Chain A
Amino acid sequence: MAAPDLHALANPLRFQRFATVLTPWLLLPGLGLLGIGLWRGLFLAPPDYLQGDMVRIMYVHVPAAWFALGGYLGMAIAALSALVWKHPLAALSVRAIAPVGAMFAAICLITGSIWGKPSWGTWWVWDGRLTSMLVLFLLYLGVIALIHLHEDRARGLKMAGFLAIVGTINLPIIKFSVEWWNTLHQPASIRVSGSSIHPEMLAPLMLSALGFLLLFAALVLIRMRTLIAEQRLDMRALRRAARAG
């Protein structure tokens, strides 16, 4: 497949055609890699020397957390592009990413809570990592609410964009919360300098993470295609109403 001309993709209709071709190439490998990663994590990876089999929750919890954060950063960059350059696809990206990121953050919080009960003896504790992750989920919900609930859609989208940008303050708080404060949550096992995870556990984690990443990208493309189609339907209805009036 030839590399796409990025300037040409700025046109929503051209982007629509490109996204239609790309979607199955992200969705199907994403589902496949996720399936293989989770299968290996559940049945083939060794148990942890301390946590035993409970560590298998890592294969869903950690990738969901990574891409809830990564998705938020992507949404904030798109919001900045929409506010500064008024790029139509950037505004669509904000609307497309928000519910996907919210779902990933919800999965991270729920699976973390399920992991916490047998490990810590409680479903929830108000410590730095858990609370900042909950704030991330609420920021996603806030962006969705502003997009949908404001009477003036353009103004709602603008306010959602501001919230997305301001909310990036929370990202380093999530990242460094386990170092700044005493917390039940363990520090990061994978850093730029290396990983402390056994290779037999790291391999399924990476497969699962790649699956989550491709699935995230596929879902965003599907939602962008939907939003473009719905905008075209809205414009068509407006033209008909204008002709009839």
Chain B
Amino acid sequence: MPHLPFIIAAYAVTLAGLGGLVIWSLLRLRRAERALGGED
């Protein structure tokens, strides 16, 4: 595959972007729900 670096870069950007957003969203949800539950 002569264009392998381009293909790897495109997939890496996608997985990093989506994975980062999923992790950030889940961490922020857990922090908010813990704070809410901890005060109940």
Residues of chain A having any CB pair with chain B under 8 Å: 27, 31, 34, 38, 42, 52-54, 56-57, 60-61, 64, 99-100, 103, 106-107, 110-111, 114-115, 117-118, 215, 218-219, 222-223, 225-226, 229-230, 232-233, 236
Write out the residue numbers on chain B whose beta carbons fall within 8 Å of the beta carbon of A57.
6-7, 10
A-B pairs, top 5 by smallest CB distance, nearest first, are: A229-B32, A60-B14, A111-B10, A226-B29, A57-B10
Q: Is the CB of B21 within 8 A of A114?
A: no
Measured in the bound complex, the distance between the Cα atoms of B13 and A27 in whole Å is 20
How many whole Å from B13's CB to the nearest CB in chain A?
5
How many whole Å from B30's CB to the nearest CB in chain A?
9
Q: Is the CB of B29 within 8 A of A54?
A: no
Write out the residue numbers on chain B whose beta carbons fall within 8 Å of the beta carbon of A218.
22
The one of B1, B3, B21, B39 that contacts A103, using a Cβ cutoff of 8 Å: B21
The one of B9, B11, B39 that contacts A38, using a Cβ cutoff of 8 Å: B11
Measured in the bound complex, the distance between the Cα atoms of B2 and A53 in whole Å is 8
Known: A54-B3, A56-B7. A110 touches B13 (CB 8 A): yes
Counted as pairs of residues, one from A and one from B, with CB atoms less than 8 Å apart, the total is 78
Write out the residue numbers on chain B whose beta carbons fall within 8 Å of the beta carbon of A114.
6, 9-10, 13
For B, the interface residue count at a CB cutoff of 8 angstroms equals 24
How many whole Å from A153's CB to the nearest CB in chain B?
17
Q: Is the CB of B7 within 8 A of A103?
A: no
Measured in the bound complex, the distance between the Cα atoms of B10 and A64 in whole Å is 12
Q: Is the CB of A230 within 8 A of B18?
A: no
Measured in the bound complex, the distance between the Cα atoms of B27 and A59 in whole Å is 28
Write out the residue numbers on chain B whose beta carbons fall within 8 Å of the beta carbon of A42.
7, 11
Q: Is the CB of B6 within 8 A of A229?
A: no
Q: Is the CB of A100 within 8 A of B7?
A: no
